[in-house]
Chains A and B, each alone.
Chain A
Amino acid sequence: MSVSVQEADFDAGAEIAALSAGREDVGAVASFVGLVRADKAADSAVGAGGEAAVAAMTLEHYPGMTETALEDIVKEARQRWEFFDVRVIHRVGRLLPGDRIVLVAVASAHRGEAFAACEFIMDYLKTRAPFWKKEETPEGGRWVDARESDDHAARRWNSGAD
């Protein structure tokens, strides 16, 4: 397991390749890459329409707790699914539209475990890892509001529906 919180960009292809390098038991690698979106924040609490485009975004975090929280989330995923290895990278600092923010990649024997664990880790990261986004717009800075849909996405893993 490897978790990184860093300002630097990452090479998603190289990270994914590294998960199966030198081994023949990996049959599936599922990955997710999150990017900075420039469009107006239609999902903010203020509501759709009339909001300025995002010129840049600054990600703040809680050094120390962030890494622990991400490792705890991976451990929880391991209790639910069998997989070989995980790579989680989350960037902090100032990012521009189109920049990569986060990578989650999971290597397993079969695709089901890789898909599920990857989505679970992302859903929990969204609601439990101490990161905060502040958007820069022509009208000034604004902290991104937490979304109800993210809480809902994380909760569904406890509904027994998985």
Chain B
Amino acid sequence: MGVKILFFAGLREALGTGAESLALPADVVTVGALREHLAARGEAWSALATMKNLRVAVNQQMVGLDAPVKAGDEVAFFPPVTGG
């Protein structure tokens, strides 16, 4: 089982996709490593590495980039929220 990855708002538009499933490489054990793995695809994906204030949620809870990630998790990347 891999991870389900979600993207929202301006990031979703920049990447041209809102969701994907990914088999986790063995060396990707944190959210930060997953971000680098995705950013390494280049072009639009490099925004993940350069974006200021990138927010991350694992299983729908906001976490820091050092949070662990494992198979079966739902990981979401998004810009700072602007509701209300």
> A residues engaging B (CB < 8 A)?
34, 59-62, 64-65, 68-69, 90, 101-102, 122, 125-134, 143-146, 150
In Å, the complex CA distance between A132 and B6 comes to: 14
In the complex, how many angstroms separate the beta carbon of A55 from the nearest chain B beta carbon?
A: 18
> B residues engaging A (CB < 8 A)?
6, 8-10, 53, 57, 60-62, 76, 78-84
Main secondary structure of the interface of A (DSSP, over half): mixed
Contact partners of B6 in chain A: CB under 8 A? 62
In Å, the complex CA distance between A143 and B57 comes to: 20
Q: How many pairs, one residue from A and one from B, have CB atoms within 8 Å of each other in the complex?
A: 74
**A62-B60, A68-B60 given as contacts; is B82 within 8 A of A132 (CB)?**
yes
Q: Which of B57, B60, B82 has the most CB of A within 10 A?
A: B82
Q: B57 and A126: CB pair below 8 A?
A: no
In Å, the complex CA distance between A144 and B9 comes to: 10
In Å, the complex CA distance between A145 and B9 comes to: 11
Q: A65 and B76: CB pair below 8 A?
A: yes
Q: A128 and B9: CB pair below 8 A?
A: no
Contact partners of B60 in chain A: CB under 8 A? 62, 64-65, 68-69
Q: Which of B76, B81, B83 has the most CB of A within 10 A?
A: B83
**A60 touches which of B9, B57, B61, B84 (Cβ 8 Å):** B9
**10 shortest A-B CB distances, which residue pairs?**
A131-B83, A146-B80, A132-B9, A65-B60, A143-B10, A126-B84, A144-B82, A133-B82, A125-B84, A129-B83
In the complex, how many angstroms separate the beta carbon of B74 from the nearest chain A beta carbon?
A: 9
Q: Which of A34, A90, A102, A130 has the most CB of B within 10 A?
A: A130
Q: A134 and B84: CB pair below 8 A?
A: no
**A101 touches which of B9, B79, B84 (Cβ 8 Å):** B84
User: 21 A-B contacts, Cβ less than 8 Å apart?
Assistant: A60-B8, A60-B9, A62-B60, A62-B76, A64-B60, A65-B60, A65-B61, A90-B83, A101-B83, A102-B83, A125-B84, A126-B81, A126-B83, A130-B8, A130-B78, A132-B78, A132-B81, A133-B82, A143-B82, A146-B79, A150-B84
